[in-house]
Chains A and B, each alone.
Chain A
Amino acid sequence: MNRSNTFIFGRRWTVQLTFAIGISLVVIFSIIPAIGIFAISFTDIRSLPFLPTHWVGLENYRTFFSSAQIAYNLHALKNTFVFAIAVTLFQNVLALFIAVLLNQRLRGRNFARAVVFMPTILGVTVVGLIFSLIFNPSGGPAASVWKSLGASSAFFGDPHLAMTLVIVVQVWSGIGVAVVIYLAGLQAIPQELYEVASIDGATRWQKLRQVTYPLLAPSVTANTLLCIIGSLQSYQLIYVLTGPSNPATQVLSLAIFTQGFGGSQGGSVQSQGYAASISIVQFIIVMIVSVATLTYLRRKETAL
């Protein structure tokens, strides 16, 4: 496999130079910070640059699991999982459903494809503001519907409802990419397979079960994985919709932000070293969950 001697363009320094420029950007601004996060999770580093920094060993991790913090952290952990599982589940099922719908020969399907993908372009701040408006407790459309049912709600201000609403908005805004990936998967299935299945007398359901689903399995894997990793780490939309320290929607990523950069909740220490230790805990969780998911989905794919 060693093909290092196959460089054919003559002088080697040109490739080495361009590669070095590119890779050093990645290393300095991406890889070093990633490794650095491990290192400084053992320090009491603060946001001001010239305060003395000390090695504190496992202190930050001890704090994370201490009786003063554990309730807050477990709560954030629970919220993270609730958010990630619900978003992954609903987003994938609905995206598959919409993709199958938009893959039929219907007038207006191109328009619908464009419309479904639009929130991806608009971005979290715009999407966040649109839904703040719709769930505006003093007279948004949602409040009017609630009122006609004889109820009222503070929506994002309601601790029992906030997480559900955030999940709905996240699915609405993120579903476009999943739909596009499923559409690509659907279009890669050769039409002949359906014709063969029809000749064999397969019903619509059998075609879906025996042809579409197995051949779509790689798209399912990709979508599930992307969605799980993304939603375990996601917090920008929550930040815009409910603020940085709303307990009802506190997730680990937001805890990193509030503990490291202020806006704290739960009476804690807030050194950036402590925030770094939360990053590491989150990183380990993301690794375990994504490897487990990948293994499970791969096994299922080969079983089909």
Chain B
Amino acid sequence: MSELQTAVRTTTAPATSQSQSVGAARTSGPAKVVSYILLGVVILIFLFPLAFLVNTALKSNSEFFNNPTGIAKAPLLSNFGKAWHQGNFAAYVLNSVLYTFAAAALGTVMSLMVGFPVARGYLKHTRLWNILFVSMLFLPNTLVTVFQLALRLHLYDTRLGYILIMVSGVGVGPLLISGYLKSVPKELDEAAVLDGVGYLRYLFRFLPPLIQPVLATVFILQAIGVWNDIILATILLPDQAKSPVTLGLFAFKGAYVSQWSLLSAATIIVALPLLVVYVFLQRYLVASVVGGAVKG
């Protein structure tokens, strides 16, 4: 198990040398041309599905059936409004924003609260807690017990219950944080003590800016997981008014199964906020997934 811990750490530890960007041999001539062709192919493979989606969303349904693959002749924006109303996406998006933000924030704070003292050995049984953190990566599928637990704690079909259960899915959070803390010298803790800073103030006020990259990583990993969840929401939130946007989209697919233009518009509505956030945070996001190791 400890090997996996090292494996996780080696790939997530902050890289020290970023300026000399690197394993890249200086290619020239024909090799370069081949590289550019391959680069084009890669970009095409990942962008084509999205372009097709947008193209379809701009067609009328009859245009789609007459000419499914052609480029939209008279781009139609009305599909978006129609999908937004018929899919009731306003409520779903609000739910998803609430779940994602609450669960990711709580999960990050929780990972910090348990990761820090264990990394520093401020508690008894450090080894035991470390083993617990690693074993959290290997837990069996708990759909059934999570459902039963929610029922018995009266958290079934409640927003709070769903959030709490998503929070505990942090998985690698404590492990990432305690791994990253190895790069923060313990002398800082001691200096804080000398300055009369208490534990709580140190943990919640002084430490977070110092370990921002790993906190951002935990938050983002958690947020991606919560925003994209569909199974737990299906099981735990039968009330449609509490559904996250993924379930709303899935239900929409069932209801408008043959109206591909409308479905495409609905898909874009759900994807757009993510894409916008991604475009602006992209460098930071990609980098933070490996703990700030990759920079453009």
CB contact under 8 A between A8 and B193, given known A180-B290, A272-B147: yes
In whole angstroms, what is the CA distance A49 to B22 when docked?
A: 59
* Chain B 276-296 interface residues, beta-carbon cutoff 8 Å to A: 277-279, 282-283, 285-286, 289-290, 293-294, 296
Q: Does A108 contact B (CB under 8 A)?
A: yes
Q: Please tell me if the beta carbons of B123 and A36 are within 8 angstroms of each other in the complex.
A: no
In whole angstroms, what is the CA distance A129 to B170 when docked?
A: 27
In whole angstroms, what is the CA distance A106 to B169 when docked?
A: 39
Q: Please tell me if the beta carbons of B122 and A6 are within 8 angstroms of each other in the complex.
A: yes
Return A129 CB to nearest CB of chain B, in Å.
5
Q: Tell me which of A29, A124, A207, A219 contacts B167 (CB under 8 A).
A: A29
In whole angstroms, what is the CA distance A184 to B283 when docked?
A: 14
Contact partners of A25 in chain B: CB under 8 A: 110, 164, 167-168
* Chain B 226-242 interface residues, beta-carbon cutoff 8 Å to A: 227-231, 234-235
Q: Does A68 contact B (CB under 8 A)?
A: no
Q: Please tell me if the beta carbons of B141 and A279 are within 8 angstroms of each other in the complex.
A: yes
Contact partners of B198 in chain A: CB under 8 A: 9-11, 14
In whole angstroms, what is the CA distance A34 to B141 when docked?
A: 8
Q: Please tell me if the beta carbons of B231 and A129 are within 8 angstroms of each other in the complex.
A: no
In whole angstroms, what is the CA distance A22 to B274 when docked?
A: 29
Q: Mark B158-200, 1 if CB is under 8 A from A, else 0.
A: 0000001101111000100000000000000110010000111
* CB-nearest residue of chain A to B112: A22
Q: Mark B88-125, 1 if CB is under 8 A from A, else 0.
A: 00000000000000000000011111100100011111
In whole angstroms, what is the CA distance A229 to B7 when docked?
A: 14
CB contact under 8 A between A136 and B260, given known A30-B139, A260-B144: yes
Q: Please tell me if the beta carbons of B122 and A185 are within 8 angstroms of each other in the complex.
A: no
Q: Does B211 contact A (CB under 8 A)?
A: no
User: Number of A residues whose C-beta is below 8 Å from B?
Assistant: 117
Contact partners of A167 in chain B: CB under 8 A: none
Return A238 CB to nearest CB of chain B, in Å.
11
In whole angstroms, what is the CA distance A14 to B117 when docked?
A: 11
Q: Mark A276-292, 1 if CB is under 8 A from B, else 0.
A: 10011011001100100
Q: Please tell me if the beta carbons of A279 and B142 are within 8 angstroms of each other in the complex.
A: yes
Q: Tell me which of B21, B110, B165, B167 contacts A187 (CB under 8 A).
A: B21
Contact partners of B72 in chain A: CB under 8 A: none
Q: Mark A131-144, 1 if CB is under 8 A from B, else 0.
A: 11110101111011
In whole angstroms, what is the CA distance A188 to B15 when docked?
A: 7
Q: Please tell me if the beta carbons of B149 and A32 are within 8 angstroms of each other in the complex.
A: yes
Contact partners of B52 in chain A: CB under 8 A: 130, 133-134, 141
CB contact under 8 A between A3 and B260, given known A30-B169, A123-B227, A189-B23: no
A-B contact count (CB 8 A): 338
CB contact under 8 A between A45 and B148, given known A121-B278, A222-B7: yes
Q: Please tell me if the beta carbons of A294 and B36 are within 8 angstroms of each other in the complex.
A: no
Q: Please tell me if the beta carbons of A222 and B123 are within 8 angstroms of each other in the complex.
A: no
Contact partners of B203 in chain A: CB under 8 A: 18
In whole angstroms, what is the CA distance A94 to B227 when docked?
A: 27
CB contact under 8 A between A283 and B230, given known A6-B121, A136-B260, A272-B147: no
CB contact under 8 A between A133 and B11, given known A25-B167, A187-B294: no
Q: Does A71 contact B (CB under 8 A)?
A: no
Q: Please tell me if the beta carbons of B143 and A111 are within 8 angstroms of each other in the complex.
A: no
Which label, helix, strand, loop or mixed, suits the secondary structure of the A interface?
helix
CB contact under 8 A between A33 and B142, given known A8-B190, A18-B113, A136-B68: yes
**In this complex, which of A4, A188, A287 has the most chain B Cβ atoms within 10 angstroms of its Cβ?**
A188
Q: Does A67 contact B (CB under 8 A)?
A: no
Contact partners of A102 in chain B: CB under 8 A: 39, 42
Q: Does B264 contact A (CB under 8 A)?
A: yes
Q: Does B50 contact A (CB under 8 A)?
A: yes
Q: Which of A83-91, A112-120, A157-165 contacts B (4 or more CB under 8 A)?
A: A112-120
In whole angstroms, what is the CA distance A124 to B149 when docked?
A: 26
In whole angstroms, what is the CA distance A32 to B277 when docked?
A: 36
In whole angstroms, what is the CA distance A7 to B193 when docked?
A: 11
Q: Tell me which of A26, A123, A185 contacts B168 (CB under 8 A).
A: A26
**In this complex, which of A100, A108, A126 has the most chain B Cβ atoms within 10 angstroms of its Cβ?**
A126
Contact partners of B45 in chain A: CB under 8 A: 172
Return B284 CB to nearest CB of chain A, in Å.
11
Q: Does B74 contact A (CB under 8 A)?
A: no
CB contact under 8 A between A239 and B122, given known A37-B140, A110-B296: no
Contact partners of B169 in chain A: CB under 8 A: 30
CB contact under 8 A between A103 and B165, given known A33-B145, A115-B47: no
Residues of A whose CB lies within 8 Å of any CB of B are 1, 3-4, 6-11, 14-16, 18-19, 21-23, 25-26, 28-34, 36-37, 40, 45, 47, 49, 98, 100-106, 108-126, 129-134, 136, 138-141, 143-144, 172, 177, 180-181, 183-191, 194, 204, 207, 212, 218-219, 221-222, 225, 229, 233, 235-236, 239-240, 253, 256-257, 260-261, 272, 275-276, 279-280, 282-283, 286-287, 290, 294, 298
Known: A49-B151, A105-B24, A115-B43. 10 other contacts (CB 8 A): A8-B190, A8-B193, A15-B199, A121-B278, A141-B52, A141-B69, A188-B22, A189-B23, A191-B22, A236-B230
| Cβ contacts A to B, 11 pairs, < 8 Å | A22-B110, A22-B114, A30-B168, A36-B149, A114-B283, A123-B224, A129-B253, A133-B263, A181-B11, A204-B25, A298-B3
